[in-house]
Structure 1
Amino acid sequence: MSEMVKELHVVTLPLSAFGHLMPFFQLSIALAKAKVHVSFISTPRNIERLPKIPPDLQPFINLVPIPFPPLEPDFLPEGAEASFDVPEQQEQQYANLQVAVDLLQTPIKQFIADKMPDWIIADFFTHWVVDIAKEYDVPLAYFSVFSAAACVFFGPPEHLTGATRNGVLPTIQSLTSPPEWITFPSLLALKDYEAVKRLLSWEVNKTGMSLNRRLAKIVSASQVLAIRTCSEIEGDYLEVYKKITGKPVIPTGVLPPDQPGKRAEGEVNSDASMFDWLDKQKPRSVVFVGFGSECMLSKEQVHEIAHGLELSELPFIWGLRKPHSTRSDEVDDFLPLGFVDRTSEKGLVCFGWVPQMEILGHPSIRGSLFHSGWGSVIETLQFGHCLVVLPFMYDQPLNARLLVEKGLAAEVKRNEDGSFSREEIAKSLRLAMVEEEGEQLRSNARKAAAVIGDQKQQHDHYIGAFVNYLKNNVAK
């Protein structure tokens, strides 16, 4: 048994999206620290974008680049291997990326056959790995990068496939209240405009399979369901998920990324001016604004956020991704006329990619206005910052409701069509950042930071429990 334990080998198979690649990478790092050998499979460019593996863990992690097979010209933009590379607005090519990912089935099957790992840890998208696991008698684990609350809202496999409704899609109304299997008071529900988008998950797309059916197939076939969360924050939803799936559900801990080290005095890099500006601000006074790499804001939304920041009179640093269609000479037009000049003493707008973790770790930051993606929730809470959430897509609305329910965030109020006003942006920011009524939010965020920031004890315990399960349940 000890020999088998020493040589435990797992394959991790994430979706080609950064909100999935990074949690799977962080899980791989945590497993490697527990002396588990990991083969991390993705496409070459996605692997090149991953952080460097610490030297002491390199013997345990094998990054396996498997390229897409030859594709027709213009099937995907040149070099596109992740959803970040293909704006969701370009629906045809976004669907083509999903088709390309499915074409990895054959080479991945060959890799599994050659290496015969002890476990496959899969994302929801690669439903075909179920058949590969069965053929080679390799146990399958589903690793959810979504919160436990989101998993509960998605429901059990029979709900995802429509079996409980004789194949009939749910109604918008049914998605705007908490699911019947949640038996405690809960805010877990969608707004009408969000429910319309959620219904698309039941529709068969170009790949011939709906997203929900993919998830249902993976969950049904998995021996264990691992979730990137902790019982201190989501213990109630973890229990519900166990009940509705009838499977072992193991929280892996939130897998917080390593906090950045302090910059050396006089250190100069491409972000130097950004940090020079932050260094001049008062401690815990600035709000960081960022909506991630895949959330494309419209010009109208950018203008309302900008005016809201101006109305709030709070210092801010804004990492703003301009639309693909915007030329460099049109950048100023993307923001309200005169906004940069009017706010030059209070705020800083940085176009393009920004080092989010380094910014969040700066002593001048107190809060964050963001989309409530689960990875960003974890990154922000580990520093004890207050949260102002403005969700746009995927699981973000569910995370936003969870955070409000737990007293960890203020959500910007929106109109029935999903639009929002500058006044509500300013109101939510001031509540969370400075007003007396928001002190409980700030206190709760500090308490959450103690849980999430305690990487050594809490998170070693979580990953240890997951590793023990894997070791004790390999195929005989």
Structure 2
Amino acid sequence: MMMNNHGRKHIVLMFPWLGHGHISPFLELAKKLSNTNLFDVYLCSTPANLDSVKKTSTNGGYLSSVRLIELHLPTLPDLPPHLHTTNGLPIHLMHTLKQALDMSSPGFSKILKTLKPNLLIYDILQPWAPLAARALGIPAVVFITTSVAAANNTYHVECTEENRKELGRVIECYNNSLSIILVKSFKEIEGKHADYFSVLTSKKIVPVGPLVVDPFVDMKQNSVIEWLDRKAVRSTVFVSFGSEYFLSSDDLEEIAHGLEMSNMNFIWVLRFPKGQKDIKICEALPLGFLERVKDRGLFVEGWAPQTKILGHKSVGGFVSHCGWSSVMEAMKFGVPIIAMPMQFDQPVNARLVVEVGVGMEVVRDANGRLERDNVAAVVKNVMVSKVGEVVREKTKKMSVALRVKGDEEIDAAVKELLRLIYKRDGLHLEHEEEDSIDERAERFIKKTYQEMRMQG
């Protein structure tokens, strides 16, 4: 096991926001940092979230390298402990959850005093976290799990007074980050956006790569992969809108008709709010739709192994809400995106997908509605039409570039984090440590090229 030249592994505490879309990239970054053997990494969240992490840890491989620390929020009348997560949280309780997290600040300070980490990596909705760390002389760095383009938009978006206060808290998190900001991205797609963000924040922007979870299949989901195995190469569209977003009945109907009109094979992951669990798929979709598409459509309720599906040779397109993690996964596996953004950072991400050339957007009408003809047209363009050839080719090239890069961004980020830690301790990064990180990157690149040559 390689130690740093100052004789010990550094303790890093990671503190994400309470949503799965934030916890997942924090966990993946935690695993990457731990795998360098330079850090002991801890992740702090509520018991409700950590229970979910433990359930998926066998497949995700987290608990072998990342330790978990519980943060207990105050129990409020409308917010019992099982709702201390965004997963399944009624939308009207989101503000209450944020308040409860703010009220947990004293408990978080106690964790800092007990653990005594060498570094805190925090999220964009806890502006008090870096202040608590600073009071104890602990360096703190913000990690942004959205696109850099969306982060830039924070400074320019028009919004209500209430939303302006919320954005002010986000900007405060940027400002309190110590000299650098970590971003889940890479230079090839967001170089110019990162340069602009650096100007806005007066910080060095440090990409850590796409942080895509390694594909795995739950035994219950083997039937999905078996179904794909029977389909032709790049003949199937994967349709999924994330774990925390739900389609309106109008959008559901238009997408269904659009998929039917496209004549493409498809896998569609359907989710309904927790209060609507009794809804049956056959009741939610247009009358007779299931029967008409039974030979080319597969429906999965709740959860599907997304990275495994995107990595399957039969998948040639991804109908997505353009959550940033989904965009990164599609790019890594070389699957063109059919963008249908819904809210938050997703419209910005969709524009970036089109700008980079790895997808096309299904543009809504003047009333914000999807139209089935447009859905069908974009699906066919991305999958088989001549107009989509450029997108398909660009997506393949992007996938190859990402595979070759490997952990290049992580290695550069590790150097930056070590410099911050050593600066606090009055030390400096030894040449031997820089060399060991560089050598690890070179070994990965050589190994990747060899594997690609073997695959033809």
TM exceeding 0.5: yes
1:86 paired with 2:36, answer no
Q: Relative to structure 1, is the Cα distance of residues 55 and 369 closer, same or farther in structure 2, using a 3 angstrom cutoff? A: closer
Q: Relative to structure 1, is the Cα distance of residues 452 and 82 closer, same or farther in structure 2, using a 3 angstrom cutoff? A: farther
- Structure 1 Cα separation of the partners of residues 403 and 90 of structure 2: 33
Displacement of 1:116: 2.1
TM-score, scaled to structure 2? 0.86
Structure 2 gap segments, 5+ residues each: 427-456
- Structure 2 Cα separation of the partners of residues 386 and 451 of structure 1: 15
Give CA deviations for 1:308-364 in whole Å, capped at 9, x if unaligned.
100111110000112334353643221000100000011111121112122212221
Displacement of 1:272: 3.2
* Contact 1:373–1:395, Cα closer than 8 Å, also in 2: yes
- Partner SS, residue 283 of structure 1: coil
- Structure 1 Cα separation of the partners of residues 137 and 415 of structure 2: 23
- Structure 1 Cα separation of the partners of residues 74 and 316 of structure 2: 47
Displacement of 1:387: 0.7
- The one-letter code matched in structure 1 to 2:152 is V
* Contact 2:131–2:176, Cα closer than 8 Å, also in 1: no
Aligned to 2:165: 210
Give CA deviations for 1:35-86 in whole Å, capped at 9, x if unaligned.
21112100112112224279998675321012223332xx126612221221
- Partner SS, residue 234 of structure 2: coil
Q: Which segment drifts farther, 295-304 or 209-218? A: 209-218
1:123 paired with 2:143, answer no
Aligned to 2:51: 48
Displacement of 1:152: 1.7
- Structure 2 Cα separation of the partners of residues 145 and 151 of structure 1: 9
- The one-letter code matched in structure 2 to 1:38 is V
Aligned to 1:191: none
Report the identity percentage. 30
Q: Relative to structure 1, is the Cα distance of residues 104 and 441 closer, same or farther in structure 2, using a 3 angstrom cutoff? A: same
Displacement of 1:103: 2.4
Displacement of 1:301: 0.9
* Contact 1:290–1:319, Cα closer than 8 Å, also in 2: yes
One of 28, 31, 41 as aligned partner of 2:30: 28
- Structure 2 Cα separation of the partners of residues 387 and 249 of structure 1: 26
One of 188, 196, 200 as aligned partner of 1:244: 200
- The one-letter code matched in structure 2 to 1:26 is E
Written as runs of structure 1 = structure 2, the 5 A alignment for 1:309-328 is: 309-328=259-278
Aligned to 1:142: 142
* Contact 1:118–1:475, Cα closer than 8 Å, also in 2: no
- The one-letter code matched in structure 1 to 2:171 is A
Displacement of 1:474: 3.3
- Structure 2 Cα separation of the partners of residues 141 and 151 of structure 1: 15
Displacement of 1:259: 3.1
Q: Relative to structure 1, is the Cα distance of residues 77 and 445 closer, same or farther in structure 2, using a 3 angstrom cutoff? A: farther
Aligned to 2:240: 290
Written as runs of structure 1 = structure 2, the 5 A alignment for 1:293-372 is: 293-328=243-278, 330-372=280-322
1:229 paired with 2:179, answer no
TM-score, scaled to structure 1? 0.83
Give CA deviations for 1:268-318 in whole Å, capped at 9, x if unaligned.
932233223212111111000000111111111100100010011111000
Written as runs of structure 1 = structure 2, the 5 A alignment for 1:445-460 is: 445-454=395-404, 456-460=406-410
- Structure 2 Cα separation of the partners of residues 327 and 221 of structure 1: 42
Displacement of 1:466: 3.9
RMSD: 2.4
Displacement of 1:373: 0.6
* Contact 2:139–2:421, Cα closer than 8 Å, also in 1: no
* Contact 1:256–1:452, Cα closer than 8 Å, also in 2: no
Q: Relative to structure 1, is the Cα distance of residues 232 and 323 closer, same or farther in structure 2, using a 3 angstrom cutoff? A: same
Aligned to 1:279: 229
Displacement of 1:143: 0.4
Q: If each structure's helix is expressed as a fraction of its own residues, which one has the higher value?
A: 2
- Partner SS, residue 237 of structure 1: helix
Aligned to 1:398: 348
One of 328, 333, 358 as aligned partner of 1:378: 328
Which structure exhibits the higher relative contact order, with contacts defined as CA atoms closer than 8 Å and separated by 6 or more residues? 1
* Contact 1:87–1:294, Cα closer than 8 Å, also in 2: no
Aligned to 2:96: 96
* Contact 1:139–1:475, Cα closer than 8 Å, also in 2: no
1:38 paired with 2:41, answer yes
- Structure 1 Cα separation of the partners of residues 134 and 353 of structure 2: 38
1:64 paired with 2:69, answer yes
- Structure 2 Cα separation of the partners of residues 81 and 451 of structure 1: 39
Displacement of 1:5: 6.7
Give CA deviations for 1:61-119 in whole Å, capped at 9, x if unaligned.
321012223332xx12661222122132xx1x222222222222111100111222111
Q: Relative to structure 1, is the Cα distance of residues 5 and 139 closer, same or farther in structure 2, using a 3 angstrom cutoff? A: farther
- Partner SS, residue 22 of structure 2: helix
Aligned to 1:187: none
- Partner SS, residue 141 of structure 2: strand
Q: Relative to structure 1, is the Cα distance of residues 61 and 325 closer, same or farther in structure 2, using a 3 angstrom cutoff? A: closer
Q: Which segment drifts farther, 27-36 or 76-85? A: 76-85
- Partner SS, residue 14 of structure 2: strand
- The one-letter code matched in structure 2 to 1:304 is E
Displacement of 1:134: 2.5
Give CA deviations for 1:391-416 in whole Å, capped at 9, x if unaligned.
00110011111111111110001112
